[in-house]
Amino acid sequence: MHAQQSQWRSLKAMAGPDGQVLWRLSGKSRRFAGVYSPWRRIYFDCGSIIGLALAPSHDVGGAPAVYPADPAPVFSWVNEAVDMPRVYVGVSADAGVPTGNRERTLIAKLGEGAAAWTPSASEWRRLTKLASKNDGRLYWRVRATDAEGALTCVSATAELLIDGGMFSLGALDLSAAQPEVEFAHDCPGTWRYRLEIAGGEAFDGAGGMMSLACKEGERVFNLRAQDVVRAKALAARRGADVVCYRIRARTADGAFETVSPSGSAVVP
């Protein structure tokens, strides 16, 4: 039996991630409804894509990390795929890197034999925005297909962290003559900061919230008398004698934002 070209293509398209297809012969006779041979395997050796790397990057908890304000890093890999001219990089907020979900996955189509990719400015902005909605975490992998798109060689999935940096939050004394909150943020780049205050001990969405802007370049929020009145009203609305507060930081282009750990202050 000789498979036709269209049949051979369909057979290759059936191969799973391990490159294998199971096959057997079947027949029938007057005595038996079906007669079958033992199963056999066809293995399509597609090669491999290994050594996924990111540069420049720094380490955070064992994962390569990049600051959101930095230029886009270079994604690289060792392309040992065999007869796979079409190369794609997928970066996603989902660990499975689904190719069909374009809202949560960016797919970049590269040239034949590609072994590196640097996102454009617009692509990097989109990726930092995706990460901002996913605790800073992204996942990426590389896949290559043959000219017909039937066989696929896929790399392992690697993790990428968009690092929003660490905060140091000062105390808030609402009984002071001029209440203020000082803070530090160790992430490079230009950021816009806001102080958020809510009644009670947690930002749970109940009872409302107030937000104050910080002057560019400063690392301190000064509360006016009317701000203190508003903070007290938020606590009273929750029947609480404390308010919680935190810093929300956003990059200058608005693509990435992060929040500090929260603190609490007693309402006088």
CB 20 within 8 A of CB 43: yes
Read off the pLDDT of residues 80-113 as tens digits, 9 standing for 90 and up.
998 889 999 999 999 999 988 989 999 999 988 9
**Same domain as 158, residue 52:** yes
> Which pLDDT value is given to residue 80?
93
Residue that terminates a domain, selected from 138, 162, 186? 162
What residue has token string 């886009």? 72
115 phi and psi angles, rounded to 5 deg: -130, 15
Count the alpha carbons within 13 Å of 268 in the hemisphere toward its beta carbon.
9
What residue has token string 């690289």? 76
Q: Residue 132 maps to which CATH number?
A: 2.60.40.10
pTM of this structure: 0.83
**Same domain as 37, residue 65:** no
Q: Is the pLDDT of residue 136 over 70?
A: yes
**Same domain as 146, residue 180:** no
**Same domain as 75, residue 106:** yes
- Pairwise CA distance, residues 113 & 86, whole Å: 8
- Pairwise CA distance, residues 161 & 53, whole Å: 13
Residue that terminates a domain, selected from 104, 129, 162? 162
**Same domain as 127, residue 51:** yes
**Same domain as 114, residue 85:** yes
Tokens standing for residue 75: 């994604």
Considering its fold, how many domains does the chain have in total?
A: 3
**Same domain as 54, residue 139:** yes
Three-class secondary structure assignment of 116-154: EECCCHHHHHHHHHHHHCCCCEEEEEEEEECCCCCCEEE
Confidence class for position 126, pLDDT limits 50, 70, 90 = very high
Tokens standing for residue 249: 């930081």
Which residue range forms the structural domain that includes residue 220?
Answer: 167-266
